[in-house]
Amino acid sequence: MSTKPTPRLILETLLPHLKVAAAYARFLQPKIAALPAKESGDNFFAAALTDADLAIQNLVEVVLLGTFPEIRFYGEEYESSGNTKYFRAVELGSTDDYLVTLDPIDGTKFYMDGHSNYQIILSILNTDDFEAVLAISPAQNIYDYALRDQGAFQGTLEMDLDNCKPLRVTSSKPHVLLGWGMSSIAPALEGQYQVIDVVTDYSSDRQIPNLNGILSGDLSGAVIKSGKFIDGAALAFLAREAGCIVTTLDGSTLPPLHTCKEYSRSGLIVATSKEIHQHLLQATQNSFV
C-alpha cells in the first residue's frame, strides 16, 4: 500500500478498528480501574490514566504499523507505549507528510466517572492545519468526522463514511463552556449565558458538557486556554467544518500548526454564531486586559 495515503484512505482503513475500540471502551467503562496518574498538578482530567487509554492506542498503533508503516504517529500515551520506537517520527512533517494523532479516551475523567460524553479522537495533521478528524462517541453510538474544506459529517457506528449525513451546527443551547484557567471570564457572561466552568462545575454524579457539546447543540460557545492537537484543537477543527467560528483568544485566525509548541494551539474561542463569538471575544479581552 502507498506510503503516502490520502487522509480519507487513512480514515477508511482505521474506522473498522476504531469501532472495535469503541465497543471495547463501552464494555470496559463500568469495570475500569485507574492506573497510577500520568502527572501531578491541578488538572485532574489530565492526571487520569486508564487501561482503556493504553489498550486502544496499542490497537491503533498495530493497525498503522501493519498498514502504513512509514506513517508518522503521535498518541497521547506515547511515553507508555512499546510501539512508539517503531514509528518513523512522532512530530509534524513537511507538506503532505501527514502526522496521525490519537487521543484514545478524550475526557478520561468523564469516562472513569461513568459519563457518556467521552470520545476516541483520531486526527490527521499537515504542516499547516488539520486534514481530517474522526471523533467517536462510544456510549452514544455515533461518530463525527471532517475532511479539510469538505465539511463535517455524522453517523451511527453501523455506518461507513459514505453513509454519514452532513453535520451543520445551526442551533444550540445558551450554554458556554470555560476550560481550565478561564474562570475569570465567567462574570462577564453571566446573565446572557449559563456558564459552565470545568473547574467548579465538574461533578462525578452529574454530567456537564465537554467541548464536543458544540457539535451536539449542548453548547453555543467555549473558551479554552489551549487546544492540544490530539483533543481540543481537533474538536475545534470539527466545529469549524460544521459551520462554527474558531479563533485565537484575541480574535485572530489560527496560526499554522508548525508554528505551535508542544503539540498545542494557543487559547481558542469556539462559537456557533458571529454574535456569540463577539460576546466571548469581548469577555475574554476585558478579563485579560
pLDDT in tens, 192-247: 999 999 999 999 899 999 999 999 999 999 999 999 999 999 999 999 999 999 99
Q: In the predicted model, what is the mean pLDDT of residues 139-159?
A: 97
Binding site residue list? 76, 103, 105-106, 231
pLDDT at 3 over 90: no
**The predicted structure's pLDDT at residue 1:** 43
Summarize pLDDT for 207-220 with one digit per residue, the tens. Answer: 999 999 999 999 99
Q: In the predicted model, what is the mean pLDDT of residues 92-97?
A: 96
Q: Does residue 189 contact residue 220 with C-beta atoms inside 8 Å? A: no
**The predicted structure's pLDDT at residue 16:** 98
pLDDT at 277 over 50: yes
Binding site residue list for Mg(2+)? 76, 103, 105-106, 231
pLDDT at 88 over 80: yes
Return d(Cα 234, Cα 240) in angstroms, integer: 10
Mean pLDDT of the chain: 92
Summarize pLDDT for 247-276 with one digit per residue, the tens. Answer: 999 999 999 999 999 999 999 999 999 999
The more confident residue out of 264 and 114 is 264
Q: In the predicted model, what is the mean pLDDT of residues 31-47?
A: 59
Q: Does residue 270 contact residue 234 with C-beta atoms inside 8 Å? A: no
**The predicted structure's pLDDT at residue 252:** 96
pLDDT at 2 over 50: no
What interhelical angle do 7-28 and 51-67 show, nearest 10? 150
